[in-house]
Amino acid sequence: MSHSEDRHLDFVLKHYQPGKFDTQKAIGRFKDANGIRPLPRRRWNTVIWGMSAVAVLLLGVFLFMHSDYRRWTEVTADTSVQTYTLPDSTVVTLAPGAVLSYRSDSRKVKMSGKVFFDVTRDENRPFEVEAGDAFVRVLGTEFMVNDIDGPQGEKPVKVYVAEGKVLFAKDSESEGLILTQGMGATLEEGAAVPVFDEKADINDIAWQRGTFIFDDTPLKEVLTCLSEYYKVSFVADDLSKRLSGEFYTDDLDLIITLIEAALDVNIIKR
């Protein structure tokens, strides 16, 4: 390392604290401070207000047509990942394009797209998710439901459990699978029961965590994971190497550079 680089490194080392100057956290703090992502309670009040006004105007129509419509509140994420806190303090993280509806008086939610749930514990009131033709009942805490149409328009629903335990089935009456930490399963369109995913892994929720985690992972799998996330393909001159480490999702070029340096390989984006 040259003299000037040594000086840079000395300065960085002198002040280094793991996880400090986290850009993602800074954006969250900035949004909170400037009211850009309204606090959940405020948003909740606003939505109720709007709904009540509509309800008064169209009360008759609503009573006939949608007797419980008024009680559903919808939250969405347009172009960036959004986080909301539900009335029961469950935290939901929505990937771009996801929609979630909830009610103030129950722990049942409906959703489409990709949503990560961090559910508060309440033994007496199970938390339940409806995603298209699939149903999840939470017996534990953190999991993700992915209800995104496949490339051929097929509609599988995927569940990945980060922590805790969930029941995954077609509906609340049918037979299902119990999934625990690190397990995933898919319910194909039209299927009666979901099947376990062989290759479910923590990086399925990289978008929510903001990091990729590899632990002695073959480079081939690492590149597959990155190419699914960033929608680009890669070629490398030696796929037999294995990688361990944690990488921020917000800088693909840096990830590639670090992998190349750590494993002494060349990687080319295509």
Partner 1 sequence: MPVVSPHTRLATIEDLFRLNYRPLCMFALHYLQDADLVEDVVQECFTVLWEKLEQGADVANRKAYLYMAVRNRCLDHLRRKGLPTESLKPYDTYGIIDDDDAEERSVMEAKLWTAIDSLPEKCRQVFLMSKRDGLKYEEIAEELGLSVNTVRNQISKALNVLKNGAAKLYSFILGFF
Which residues are near partner 1 by CB under 8 A?
A: 1, 5, 7-9, 11-21, 23, 26-27, 29-30, 33-34, 36, 78-80, 244-248, 250-251, 253-255, 257-258, 260-262
Q: Which is nearer to partner 1, 14 or 270 (CB)?
A: 14
DSSP result, 113-130: EEEEEEPPP-TTS-EEEE
CB of 23 to partner 1, least distance (A): 5
Which of residues 208 and 249 has its CB atom nearest to partner 1 in the complex? 249
Q: Taking the complex as a whole, how short is the minimal distance between the CB of residue 262 and partner 1, in angstroms?
A: 5
**Dihedral angle, C-alpha 164, 169, 171, 172, nearest 10 °:** -50
Tokens 């006004």 -> residue: 53
CB atoms closer than 10 angstroms to residue 247: 22
**CB-nearer residue toward partner 1: 159 or 267:** 267
Residue type, 51: M
Closest distance of CB 257 from partner 1, Å: 5
Minimal distance in Å, beta carbon 1 to partner 1? 5
Judged by CB, which is closer to partner 1: 160, or 234? Answer: 234
CA distance 74 to 182: 29
Phi, psi of 119 (to 5 degrees): -90, 135
Tokens coding 169: 């089935």
- Rounded CA separation 220/242 (Å): 9
Q: Least distance to partner 1 from the beta carbon of 238, Å?
A: 16
**Type of residue at 238:** D
Residue number, 5 or 105, with CB nearest to partner 1: 5
Quote the tokens at residue 147: 């209800």
